[in-house]
């Protein structure tokens, strides 16, 4: 076998035996199948190397090890892990796999194999691939588990990929795979995916936080030992069998808290945590034992009441069970304490796989079962657009949930930001369509009232009511959005057909036929985004076609004149030339990378558009996205919308480079605070307008009890000007804090 010098054949075989020895659930028959799969994969990938230079077989071997050791899955899953790239990357076909390993293995491999072929240019290949993978969820959830393991190993070896691939893959990971791992209860994998994604999206931030954690590691370990000692003594005195370990929050979790609360690393709340895993006493319920241990701990350390999280009474929707509390430790430091039984811990670490193991003891349908049922409902629509599905699926990956009671006392689980209308659609689509109001805890409220955990909700409906398009922006759950979309599609289908007939008749009256060229005139003139919107507005009378001739003649160019004249000829040559013109018009221009973000010295125009969601300025780390009209939209790398676009439209992301910007100014917003004194307002405005010659759009400063704070919106050329502004304002007497605000209302 041709292998790299670093890893030889003997080492590969050794890694395989180590993986196989850790397969606790494998029978002798299963191990025979795994050895057969390894041989097939070994021969199929012979001579193939990964970007890192190691033999390709190392990748399926590593995925199989994650599936076996971390997820605890059995022989079929390990077999599929070893074979998951064989059909895509070698001469083997699905028929070969079915002949060698059976129909079930072939079905799972099919779900793991990427789609090949062309798609509509408005579609996303990544979205189609993800949707196809989830289609197999209807039959076997192991497809998803293996895919997550595959993504985890790819992230572990992402260093060998070029930077633009690192950004694409890490963005896709944080947008879809980490939330999916969380939803399936795979907490350790979810945490590692988040950290690795941060490492490649923001390497400087990741390295800085890593160094800060390393700097006080010995001090932190000493503190944790001091914190655990009295707890261990108390637990031992009660004869409890347990394990206790200390840890710090993940790097991604620390960074997220810094972002959400706008605080530095040193001010992150409850950075430290301990986990207590106990062997339960069969004579007492596990829930009771969790609270008993909590009582023992709070006899030692004072708890923070509002930070108690009781997931033993009501488990999370992904099956997670634990009791969390935050207590005040030595030296005034808050520490999070997690209390779990051995069963709870296995479900937390292995998620869905452990869920099925323990489900055998009960017939009750879990929240995880209900979630899977919702995903299957989304998948049942054969006409759904892949990107719409992806967005709907993303909505179903909610990490925080609330428990809502029906009038009969039944509990329903919804995302934390759900409103009464979401609840109506959660009960049944028809109830949602007919809803006109709601009673929450017997008080009449609107359908858009946000729900809180523990609310009792009754939906008020009317047979005359119906879904409205504005509801799409009011609901927050995938099920509600999907139901409203389906309803509106049915309502608008007839309008679209009617509008199409009207337009065709109008064009025929002036001896024209519908074409790309004509629609390129009509859509912008009538301010619509698509043909369907045009047809629909024609049908209901919003758009009148009385001025059709005038619209088609507007801003006519030579090429358009030629096109117009050809429409009135019926000969073969004219039709051929007409087709060529249409083809030229619809052929997309080739990409030119990298794109330089420049400004014109003659017209002060930009060759790009600044995204309104994150307002980047020259000097910020950015990416470019080509929209349907080939226009480049600039986003900050860390913008949530940029992460979503990188995940869904990787092929439209382009490398962009700032050039010198001295003509065009960009709107930014800064927040300031400090101690009040006479003349403060004047000193701040003097620095901005006179010393730095910066134009302000809006200033809002308020003073109370000797402290002032506020915001200023102004225009700068680039980050150098911004940093200079912040530095000079920071020198003003009484100014304590100056920061850039990421979100601006325009």
List, for residues 185-230, the tens digit of each pLDDT value. Answer: 788 899 999 999 999 999 999 999 999 888 888 888 888 899 999 9
Range picked from 59-63, 161-165, 365-369 for highest mean pLDDT: 59-63
Residues 88 and 98 in one domain: yes
| 85, two tokens | 């790239």
Give me the pLDDT at residue 369, please.
Answer: 61
Taking only the tens place, the pLDDT of each residue in 500-509 is: 888 888 888 8
Choose the weakest-confidence range: 123-132, 366-375, 408-417, 725-734: 123-132
Identify whether 513 is part of a domain.
yes
Q: Which has the higher per-residue pLDDT, 239 or 569?
A: 239
Is residue 494 domain-shared with residue 482, that is, in the same domain? no
| 176 & 221 share domain | no
In-domain check, residue 1: no
Q: Are 186 and 67 in contact (CB under 8 A)?
A: no
Indicate if 414 and 504 belong to the same structural domain.
no
**Per the residue annotation, which of 6, 17, 89, 655 is the catalytic one?**
89
Q: Which range, of 41-50, 279-288, 656-665, 687-696, averages the lowest pLDDT? A: 656-665
Question: What is the DSSP code string of 468-497?
Answer: -GGGGGT--SHHHHHHHHHHHHHHHHHHHH
Give yes or no: residues 61 and 154 share one domain.
Answer: yes
Output 9 or 130, whichever has higher pLDDT. 9
Looking at the structure, do residues 324 and 396 belong to the same domain, yes or no? no
pLDDT band for position 324 (50/70/90)? very high
Domain boundary among 658, 682, 713: 658
Q: Cα(64)–Cα(73) distance, rounded to whole angstroms?
A: 9
- This prediction has a pTM of 0.59
**Which of the four pLDDT bands, split at 50, 70 and 90, describes residue 602?**
very low
Q: Let me know whether 482 and 492 are in one domain.
A: no
Is residue 746 situated within a structural domain?
no
The answer to whether 88 is a known catalytic residue is: yes
Per-residue pLDDT at 372: 60
CB of 117 closer than 8 Å to CB of 143: no
Decide if 473 is inside a domain.
yes
- 4 domain residue, yes or no: no
Catalytic hit among 9, 17, 18, 88: 88
Which residues have CB under 8 Å from 434's CB, separation 6+?
461, 462, 463, 465, 466
Kindly state the average pLDDT of the residues 537-561: 70
pLDDT digits (tens, 9 = 90+) for 668-723: 889 998 888 888 888 888 888 776 777 787 888 888 777 888 899 888 878 888 88
Q: Are residues 101 and 174 in the same domain?
A: yes
357: left (phi over 0), alpha (psi -120 to 50) or beta: alpha
Top-ranked range on mean pLDDT: pick from 368-377, 402-411, 624-633, 719-728: 719-728
* Eight-state DSSP code of residue 667: E
Judge if 431 and 498 occupy the same domain. Answer: no
- Quick one: pLDDT at residue 590? 47
Q: Is the pLDDT of residue 656 over 70?
A: yes
Section 630-659 average pLDDT: 80
Using the predicted structure, report yes or no on whether residue 95 has a pLDDT greater than 70. yes
pLDDT tens digits, one per residue of 461-501: 888 777 877 787 788 887 888 888 888 777 767 778 888 88
Residue 169 domain boundaries: 9-201
Q: Please give the tally of structural domains in the chain.
A: 6
**Closest Cα partner for 60 from 85, 35, 37?**
85
> Helices 125-135 and 640-648 sit at what angle, rounded to 10 degrees?
70
Both 298 and 341 in a single domain? yes
* Mean pLDDT of the residues in the chain: 79
Predicted confidence at residue 163, as pLDDT, reads: 87
**Predicted local distance difference test score (pLDDT) of residue 403:** 75
Span 142-168, mean pLDDT? 88
Mean pLDDT, residues 453-467: 84
Q: What is the mean pLDDT of residues 319-334?
A: 87
Measured N-to-C along each axis, helices 478-509 and 386-395 cross at an angle, to the nearest 10 degrees, of 160
Domain's final residue, options 530, 560, 586: 586
The yes-or-no verdict on residue 592 having pLDDT over 60 is no
Domain boundary at 447, 462, 486, which? 486
Same domain, 137 and 30: yes
393: domain CATH number?
Answer: 3.10.20.30
Residue 39's pLDDT is: 93
Question: Is 3 within the bounds of a domain?
Answer: no
Q: What is the CA radius of gyration of the chain?
A: 30
Task: Reduce the DSSP state of residue 596 to 3 states and report it.
Answer: strand
Per-residue pLDDT at 607: 62
The CATH code of the domain that includes 43 is: 1.10.3210.10
Out of 59-68, 239-248, 320-329, 556-565, pick the least confident. Answer: 556-565
Sheet of 666-675, strands arranged across? 696-704, 707-716, 666-675, 735-741
Task: Note if 110 is an active site residue.
Answer: no
382-433 pLDDT, tens per residue? 455 544 555 555 555 555 677 788 888 777 878 878 999 999 998 998 999 9
Q: How confident is the model at residue 560 (pLDDT cuts 50, 70, 90)?
A: very low
**228 and 315 fall within a common domain:** yes
* Assigned domain for 530 exists: yes
């Amino acid at each position: 076998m041709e292998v790299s010098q670093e890893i030889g054949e003997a080492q590969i075989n050794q890694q395989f035996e180590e993986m196989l020895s850790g397969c606790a659930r494998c029978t002798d028959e299963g191990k025979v199948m795994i050895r057969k799969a390894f041989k097939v994969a070994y021969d199929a990938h012979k001579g193939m190397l990964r970007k890192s230079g190691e033999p390709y077989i190392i990748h399926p071997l590593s995925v199989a090890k994650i599936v076996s050791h971390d997820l605890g899955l059995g022989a079929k899953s390990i077999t599929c892990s070893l074979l998951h790239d064989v059909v895509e990357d070698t001469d083997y076909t699905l028929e070969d796999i079915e002949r060698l390993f059976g129909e079930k293995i072939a079905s799972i491999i099919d779900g793991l194999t990427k789609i090949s072929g062309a798609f509509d240019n408005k579609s996303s290949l990544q979205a189609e691939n993800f949707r196809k993978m989830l289609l197999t969820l209807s039959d076997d959830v192991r497809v998803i588990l293996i895919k997550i393991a595959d993504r985890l190993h790819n992230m572990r070896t992402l260093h060998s990929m070029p930077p633009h691939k690192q950004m694409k893959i890490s963005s896709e990971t944080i947008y879809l795979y980490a939330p999916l791992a969380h939803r399936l209860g795979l907490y350790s994998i979810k945490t590692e995916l988040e950290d690795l994604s941060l490492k490649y999206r923001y390497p400087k931030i990741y390295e800085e936080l890593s160094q800060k954690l390393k700097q006080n590691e010995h001090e932190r370990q000493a503190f944790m030992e001091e914190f655990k000692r009295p707890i261990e003594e108390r637990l031992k005195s009660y004869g409890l069998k347990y394990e206790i370990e200390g840890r710090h929050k993940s790097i991604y979790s620390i960074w997220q808290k810094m972002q959400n609360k706008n605080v530095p690393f040193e001010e992150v709340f409850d950075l430290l945590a301990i986990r207590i895993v106990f062997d339960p006493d069969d004579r007492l319920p596990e829930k009771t034992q969790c609270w008993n241990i909590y009582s023992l701990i709070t006899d030692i350390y004072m708890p923070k009441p509002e930070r108690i999280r009781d997931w033993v009474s009501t488990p999370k929707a992904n099956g997670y069970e634990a009791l969390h509390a935050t207590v005040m430790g030595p030296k005034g430091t808050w520490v999070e304490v997690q209390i779990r039984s051995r069963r709870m811990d296995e479900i937390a670490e292995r998620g869905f796989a452990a869920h099925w193991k323990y489900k055998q003891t009960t017939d009750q349908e879990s929240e995880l079962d209900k979630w899977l049922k919702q995903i299957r409902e989304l998948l049942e629509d054969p006409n759904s657009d892949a990107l719409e599905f992806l967005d709907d699926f993303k909505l179903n990956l909610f990490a925080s949930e609330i428990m809502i009671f029906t009038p009969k006392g039944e509990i329903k689980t919804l995302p934390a930001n759900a409103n009464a209308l979401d609840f109506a659609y959660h009960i049944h689509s028809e109830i949602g369509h007919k809803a006109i109001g709601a009673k929450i805890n017997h008080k009449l409220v609107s359908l858009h009232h946000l729900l809180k955990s523990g609310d009792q909700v009754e939906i008020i409906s009317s047979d005359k009511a119906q879904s409205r398009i504005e509801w799409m922006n009011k609901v927050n759950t995938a099920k509600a959005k999907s139901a409203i979309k389906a309803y509106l599609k049915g309502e608008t289908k007839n309008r679209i057909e009617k509008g199409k007939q009207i337009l065709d008749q109008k064009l025929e009256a002036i001896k024209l036929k519908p074409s790309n060229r004509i629609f390129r005139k009509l859509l912008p003139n009538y301010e619509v985004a698509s043909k369907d919107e045009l047809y629909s507005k024609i049908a209901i009378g919003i758009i009148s076609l009385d001025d059709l001739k005038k619209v088609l003649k507007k801003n006519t160019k030579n090429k358009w004149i030629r096109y117009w004249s050809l429409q009135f000829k019926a000969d073969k040559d004219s039709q051929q030339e007409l087709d060529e013109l249409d083809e030229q018009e619809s052929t997309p221009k080739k990409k030119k990378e990298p794109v330089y973000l420049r400004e014109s010295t003659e017209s002060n125009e930009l060759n790009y558009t600044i995204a309104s969601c994150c307002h980047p300025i020259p000097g910020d780390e950015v990416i470019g996205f080509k929209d349907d009209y080939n226009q480049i939209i600039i986003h900050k790398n860390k913008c949530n919308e940029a992460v979503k676009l990188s995940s869904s439209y990787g092929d439209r992301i382009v490398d962009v480079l700032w050039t010198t910007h001295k003509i065009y100014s960009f709107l930014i917003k800064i927040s300031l605070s400090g101690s009040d004194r006479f003349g403060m307002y004047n000193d701040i405005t003097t620095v901005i307008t006179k010393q730095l010659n910066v134009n302000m759009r809006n200033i809002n400063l308020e003073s109370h009890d000797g402290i002032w704070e506020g915001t200023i919106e102004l225009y700068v050329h680039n980050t150098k000007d911004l940093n200079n502004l912040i530095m000079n304002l920071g020198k003003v007497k009484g100014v304590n804090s100056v920061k850039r605000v990421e979100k601006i209302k325009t």
